[in-house]
Structure 1
Amino acid sequence: MEIPVISSLQKLILYESKARFYIVGSNVTETRFRVLKIDRTEPRDLVIQDDKVEYDRDEVINVLTTLDHGNRTKIKGTGIRQTLSAYGIFGFVRFLEGYYIVLITKRSCKQLIGPHAIYKIEDTSMVYIPNDTVRYFHPLESRYVKIFQTMDLSNDFYFSYSYDLTRMLQYNMAPSLTPQSLATDDNVSHNQQQDGNTESGNKKQDGSTESGNKKQDGNTESGNKKQDGNTESGNKKQESNTQSHDGKRKSGHTLTGVRSQPSWKFVWNKHLLKSFWNIVHNDWVLFITHGFIGQCKMSVYGKPIYITLIGRRSNQFAGTRFLKRGSNCEGCAANEIETEQIVHDGSRTFLDRGCITSFTQLRGSVPLSWSQDVVKMVPKPAILLDKKDPYADIAGLHFNQILKRYGAPIIVLNLVKRREKKPHESILKEELMETIKYLNQFLPPQHVIQYIGFDMAHVSKRKTADVLVRLEKIAKYCLKQTGFYLQLPSNHQGSIQNDKMLKGINGTWSKNGCRQNGVVRTNCVDCLDRTNTAQFAVGKCALAYQLYVLGVLEDPELDFDSDCVRMLEMLYEDHGDTVALQYGGSQLVHRIKGYRKIAPWTEHSRDIMQTLSRYYSNAFSDLEKQQSMNLFLGVFTPQEDKQNIWELSTDYYLHNRNCTKLVRNTNKLYSQWWDTCIIQHLPLSCEEEMKTTEELFLMVESTDSDERLNEFAEYYKPWTFTVLEELTCYKHSSSIRNIMPKGARDISPFSVRVISNQTSEATGLNADSRSNNKNPNVSGKDSTTSVGSEGSTSSSEDSDVEGEVCLSETSNSDDSDVDLSYTSFSDLFPSMKQVYRTDITEPTKRNQKLYERYVELGSVNDQLEETKEQTPCSQLLPSIELFPISAYKLDSSFHVEIPPISRHSKDIYHSYIERGKYGAGPPTDKDYAMYQKYVGSKYS
């Protein structure tokens, strides 16, 4: 396991003087201080000086008074005053005047991955750096500032001081190799890959031979030494790192803490860091990601299992729904989001001591050059293929990036409609199939791109068909092809390799666990509603295997109506709502419950409102959001001699800078759309295999007492007063507190429960916006049917799943989407038994007599009040036998009658007191007779 460096500068204080800003950064223990000097005299140029000296607590006041002695004023004081405090630097930005510094002023800890805290940005502050005396005023500066601030930085932006959010867990846990060991291993792997087309290479793809590719199996003596991290040629840094993985940390031992280069594709403040990140100490640098991060805790009889869902949104070709479609000239797809599902055992804090698994999948627009005509704003604008691409350059660049990051195989799950009366979505389907078929000609047969087409909208119209059942079969196939990541502690290593349940799962298996090879790429037209449901189905299948390898499940199977799957469903719906708001301007229109045919009839009106909200956002606010995003990401840089961003008729040339080049890239052949280094490492990820110490962002050698490597002190914070209710792990959504219905006797999160309407509406992560109502739609149609959607003309005899891998089964379900069954009164209004779990029954004879007695007493009391006369009690005939409920007949709040004590109990108590005072006495006659009987029966 790689040990990350815990950045110490979690508290920043900004001091202002006449000529400079001084940012004093300290760690949470306030034992180390670092100073950053920012020049205020030059409005155009940003001059930053990083003071490498680390000051102690007692020296920081003296440092502040001596930082700028020339700025002392005649008045009392040093001329330096505190401006504000922050938790990190978001970055620096300049428009037409001087630079601004963007500081993170509010944060909240939302998630925990082992000991690493993930923070969400709640508020930021934008401070102008140059002094007003030298400020250059530009008339358009305020307009650019307003456009920049349209980007809401307090919404869905995350960062961590110690964990790289831009990378997958599999990459972060992979050890870094030296260039010498990498070259040695590459020679071996290159020779093995040259024989990849032989019989043994094909057997490796099928996973049915013991002598498959040694790099794939990872169990032989000459296996991939990079994965195990046990090469003899590794340097001392690597050996010390391996020792730390085994938990053998001894006082005085040298440890190596590393912080790898981030994946700039998911760093959203990359443009804001451009002016200072490579000239200052890396403690000042924070890499901000955008997207979604959700976490919940599942309690399995007291054992905490954390499920974390991370959605990383790419900053390349980013934008809004109708303005960013397809892919640009560099192969970057619109709305590309990497979704990682992490499951780990929370009973062990540190990642190298416990079990942790992850599964990664991808969503993104169809990687072709296409768009939609938005001149006439209609619900479904026509899809246009912008240009012909006979050599599939754009798609080749896109899949080349995927192969480099994830390895092989790539499974493309296409959810667009297959056949329509008027060609609309099917245009993309036909073009994508031809493109993948062309690209596969030049790949090794065992690493080709696999295509699976599933007409999800057509299947959902059938009354009896369940979309999730069909998706579950596809998900199981995809999971077996790619595998999932698994890291086991040293005491569990080797116990998982012989498991029969895991034999059909590919991936790189070793005694340490497993590595995921390849990825599932899901897309529909918008990559929102249908894509989110499909990703949930794949995530559910992966979760079953993840819980199985953690020893929680007996079989890798999960039921849809269990608390565990319901919790995962809410995570994916939150993820889908967040992504839909970022890209489409509204929440999800078609939810998972709709595709399961259990959505309540009220969901239909909600779908209409979300559709109208999305239409309004696309028509009126998307252009402003796109301009703000282009300015924030540095796609457009303001300059005085160029057009302003609001004067541009289109931003096509900003996102496609190479589209005007007439000469094709001659570095590659037409038949080689992939990089050479990628083929040498397939099916493994090239980025992980090329992770060397030369590419590290920071490397630290120190003792285990160094706070930058002391994860224990960072997580538990022994220097602060801890309140249980304020801890992140305590505030997490729990399966028992938020998901399990009240009054449930079985607390297992895997038990199948039938949740009633009112109960389901009150449970969940967001109880006010969710419901598990199982009532049918009043209209008789599925609430997921989009307004004005075109019907499909494909017959029921055709397969709904198409592609190179046959996954469909014979289906006898009717294609008709007309509901021929009648809706009864009981369908719309549930019974009392379903809602309150009780029903009206006939009272017992005893209860009936009690009620009659009560009525008789009341009638007699009324007569006494009317006549004001005494009525003897003999008039009330004893109609029921009355007896006291308590054994203490004279109990009251003032006096309690002492219950009688038997003589035997008194003798036992007296003998106990005597034994305590005088010790054990002689045995009684009864005990003596019992002992004689025992001896006689034993020795007779």
Structure 2
Amino acid sequence: MEIHDDMKLYTSAEKFYIGAKSAKELLIIDRISEAVYLEKKDNQQANHPHIDFCGFLGSITLIAGRYLVIATHRDLVGFVAGHAIWRLRGFKLVPYFKSTIHLSNLQQSDNATYLSMVEHVLNTPYFYFSYTYDLSHTMQRLNGAGPMMAQQSMLARADQRFVWNWHLLKGFQNPDFKNFTLPIIHGFISINQVVINGNTFNWIMISRRSTQRAGTRYFRRGTDRNGSVANFVETEQIVDFQGDQGSFVQIRGSIPLFWTQLPDLRYKPPPKLVEIDREDHNRACLRHLETTSQLYGRQILVNLVDQKGAEGKLEQAFGETVNNIRLSSVRYEPFDFHAECRHMRWDRLSILIDRLQFEQEEMGYFLMMRDGSLVSMQDGVFRTNCIDCLDRTNVVQSLLAHRSLTAMLKKLNILKPNENVENHGSFESLFKNVWADNADFISVQYSGTGALKTDYTRTGKRTKAGLLRDGVNSLTRYYKNNFTDGYRQDALDLFHGLADLRSPLTVDRGWRYITFPSVLLVAVAMFVTCAIIPPEYSTESLLFLLFWGSMVFATGHTILRYGHEFVDKPRLL
């Protein structure tokens, strides 16, 4: 079922008219009543001003009223199974209302902030779409859905977990509008043409970020009571060889317990289990694992968090919970990543991969030949997590994907029986760089910066340059997680229809918010002045230096003590 592209939006005083070259009907939106309906094409709307655009993404209500959201620019990423895949490059929000004179100054200011939030989300790299291919489903799900699914609209059959404009399209889910509504996913897609041993094939990676419990690094952790977890990502690796199609799927997601790690100006605030009845943790974890088992089959839970300290308490609680709920389709596999790989001994990751080898061979992968015959299905999935489900997680997922890809290419006779992917240097380099790019983009979308440890993914070893880059990214994460993520979380909640627009955007911070940073700034300035100005140090100058140094220490300590009052928090709760 194809969706219209290359459309035109005609605007009159009372209505929007949306048309496409291939369409016999116009989608009409009443700007006053907000009614939506179809009408046969005529030439009357051609007299109205128009905008050329390439995708209808829905609409959203802000304080001033409703806005249309349309895709105006796109970039071609490549082709999956012959279907064009596009990346969103530009968008436009078009107001239903004609002016904002009905708003107070405060309301106009708040509406401008909300508008910037929607734009901020849509500017986060990257959103993807296709007019003919359902990007929200894996190849295996698409193949097993049956003929009924093929008759449905792209929106009706989409996996709601991964449709990021689901809330925007709520008012347009009438089946009559099926050729106009364009679902988009968020994450990472890489499509590459590869030649090995004279065989040309497409190697593709698709990472789909879930909309359920979407948010920023510190403000979305763990699970909710529905079993939805933070930073849940489904990553599919695809081989398309002359009509033969293979796919290997992995998932990642936050530890499915109730836990928090709210920013408080410390470099790494300790994660904490929420102190509720143990059965509440068990029920939420069970709901999450039952849901994922229904979708993916059996699961190997690869937990990469530290087994000591605050992370160790989470690891122990996760292991105990999995043991308590006793799901036969689930096995728990803890691996203390930092302890095992300390002193840059990343070769020791082979210990974990060897532990998982037998189960990976049993799980297999999806493979359908060009004649439609089904050679194999993927029976199960690896669910990998660390604390953030970013850096350590991506490293391990890339190693599992590497092993699966080698097996798949041998099955398709692209690789010879005695060959491995690493025997082909150019493709090995491409493989590592694409997985590192995947890590970077998923990390930007969740934490605000690129991933850590990508030098290992790109080169197969840890480097000093990689450590330096990780240091810069860590400091940038610290700043963003403490001082900008409240805004980002509000933006995501607004985009997904979870924000309460009645909540005040301005919050009274209290006297400490202004007083202590001001005192600290003065104290630092005076300490530096006392340290560099006198040509010779006297008792008096040393006392001044000691006094202002003490003021810097005392004020800094107080700010850290009340750190939660200084961070940027979500306000649209």
2:256 maps to 1:265: no
Shift of 1:369: 0.4
SS in 2 for 1:368: coil
Of structures 1 and 2, the one scoring higher in RCO (CA 8 A, sep 6+) is 1
Q: Which residue of 2 aligns with 1:434?
A: 320
Q: Against the structure 1 CA distance between its residues 465 and 302, is the aligned structure 2 distance closer, same or farther, given a 3 Å change threshold?
A: closer
Q: Against the structure 1 CA distance between its residues 450 and 264, is the aligned structure 2 distance closer, same or farther, given a 3 Å change threshold?
A: same
The structure number with the bigger radius of gyration is: 1
What is the letter of the counterpart of residue 64 of structure 1? N
Q: Deviations over 1:225-279 (max 9, x none)?
A: xxxxxxxxxxxxx9xx9xxxxxxxxxxxxxx787561111111101111112226
Q: Against the structure 1 CA distance between its residues 595 and 166, is the aligned structure 2 distance closer, same or farther, given a 3 Å change threshold?
A: closer
Which aligned pairs between 1:40-79 and structure 2 lie closer than 5 A?
40=31, 42=32, 45-51=33-39, 53=40, 63-65=42-44
**Native 8 Å contact 2:227 2:285 kept in 1:** yes
Shift of 1:489: 2.9
Q: Which residue of 1 aligns with 2:210?
A: 314
Aligned mates of 2:458, 2:467 — CA distance in 1 = 13
Aligned mates of 1:411, 1:556 — CA distance in 2 = 29
Q: Deviations over 1:439-497 (max 9, x none)?
A: 11xx4xxx431111111111211566613422431442342232210101339x5xxxx
SS in 1 for 2:278: coil
Identity %: 28
Shift of 1:150: 2.4
**Native 8 Å contact 2:71 2:90 kept in 1:** yes
Of Structure 1 and Structure 2, the greater strand share is in: 2
Aligned mates of 1:36, 1:339 — CA distance in 2 = 35
Aligned mates of 1:337, 1:545 — CA distance in 2 = 24
SS in 2 for 1:275: helix
Which aligned pairs between 1:627-706 and structure 2 lie closer than 5 A?
627-638=490-501, 642-644=502-504
Q: Deviations over 1:273-331 (max 9, x none)?
A: 11122264200111111111112121124432111111100111111111111111211
**Native 8 Å contact 2:11 2:48 kept in 1:** yes
2:241 maps to 1:361: no
Aligned mates of 1:133, 1:374 — CA distance in 2 = 37
2:390 maps to 1:394: no
Aligned match of 2:487 in 608, 614, 624?
624
Q: Which residue of 2 aligns with 1:124?
A: 91
**Native 8 Å contact 2:341 2:349 kept in 1:** no
Aligned mates of 1:322, 1:463 — CA distance in 2 = 27
Q: Which residue of 2 aligns with 1:566?
A: 429
Shift of 1:590: 1.4
**Native 8 Å contact 2:70 2:91 kept in 1:** yes
Q: Against the structure 1 CA distance between its residues 468 and 555, is the aligned structure 2 distance closer, same or farther, given a 3 Å change threshold?
A: farther
What is the letter of the counterpart of residue 11 of structure 1? D
What is the letter of the counterpart of residue 16 of structure 2? F
2:184 maps to 1:294: no
Aligned mates of 1:363, 1:148 — CA distance in 2 = 26
Shift of 1:595: 10
Of Structure 1 and Structure 2, the greater helix share is in: 2
Aligned mates of 2:74, 2:101 — CA distance in 1 = 34
Aligned mates of 1:622, 1:133 — CA distance in 2 = 29
What is the letter of the counterpart of residue 176 of structure 1? G
Q: Which residue of 2 aligns with 1:192?
A: none
Aligned match of 2:467 in 582, 597, 604?
604
Q: Deviations over 1:836-886 (max 9, x none)?
A: xxxxxxxxxxxxxxxxxxxxxxxxxxxxxxxxxxxxxxxxxxxxxxxxxxx
Shift of 1:99: 1.2
Aligned mates of 1:515, 1:258 — CA distance in 2 = 26
Aligned match of 1:403 in 290, 293, 296?
293
Q: Against the structure 1 CA distance between its residues 22 and 134, is the aligned structure 2 distance closer, same or farther, given a 3 Å change threshold?
A: farther
Aligned match of 2:10 in 4, 15, 25?
15
Q: Which residue of 2 aligns with 1:142?
A: 112
Aligned mates of 1:467, 1:458 — CA distance in 2 = 10
Aligned mates of 1:551, 1:542 — CA distance in 2 = 14
Structure 2: tracts of 5 or more residues without a match: 510-573
2:429 maps to 1:533: no
Q: Against the structure 1 CA distance between its residues 608 and 83, is the aligned structure 2 distance closer, same or farther, given a 3 Å change threshold?
A: same
Aligned mates of 2:113, 2:365 — CA distance in 1 = 48
Q: Deviations over 1:88-147 (max 9, x none)?
A: 111101112321101110001102102111110000011112334996674432232233
Aligned mates of 1:135, 1:49 — CA distance in 2 = 28
**Over aligned residue pairs, what C-alpha RMSD do you find?**
2.6
Aligned mates of 1:594, 1:37 — CA distance in 2 = 50
Which aligned pairs between 1:503-582 and structure 2 lie closer than 5 A?
512-555=374-417, 558=420, 560=422, 562-582=425-445
Aligned match of 1:6 in 2, 8, 11?
2
**TM-score, normalised by the number of residues in structure 2:** 0.82
**TM-score, normalised by the number of residues in structure 1:** 0.51
Q: Against the structure 1 CA distance between its residues 482 and 529, is the aligned structure 2 distance closer, same or farther, given a 3 Å change threshold?
A: same
Q: Against the structure 1 CA distance between its residues 435 and 543, is the aligned structure 2 distance closer, same or farther, given a 3 Å change threshold?
A: same
What is the letter of the counterpart of residue 138 of structure 2? M
Shift of 1:11: 1.4
Q: Against the structure 1 CA distance between its residues 611 and 464, is the aligned structure 2 distance closer, same or farther, given a 3 Å change threshold?
A: closer
SS in 2 for 1:283: coil
Aligned match of 1:24 in 19, 24, 34?
19
Shift of 1:560: 4.1
Structure 1 residue runs of 4 or more that deviate by more than 6 Å after TM superposition: 133-137, 594-597
**Native 8 Å contact 1:558 1:565 kept in 2:** no
Aligned match of 2:27 in 25, 36, 41?
36
Across the two proteins, how many residue pairs are aligned to each other? 502
Shift of 1:563: 2.8
Aligned mates of 1:483, 1:301 — CA distance in 2 = 24
Aligned mates of 2:8, 2:460 — CA distance in 1 = 55
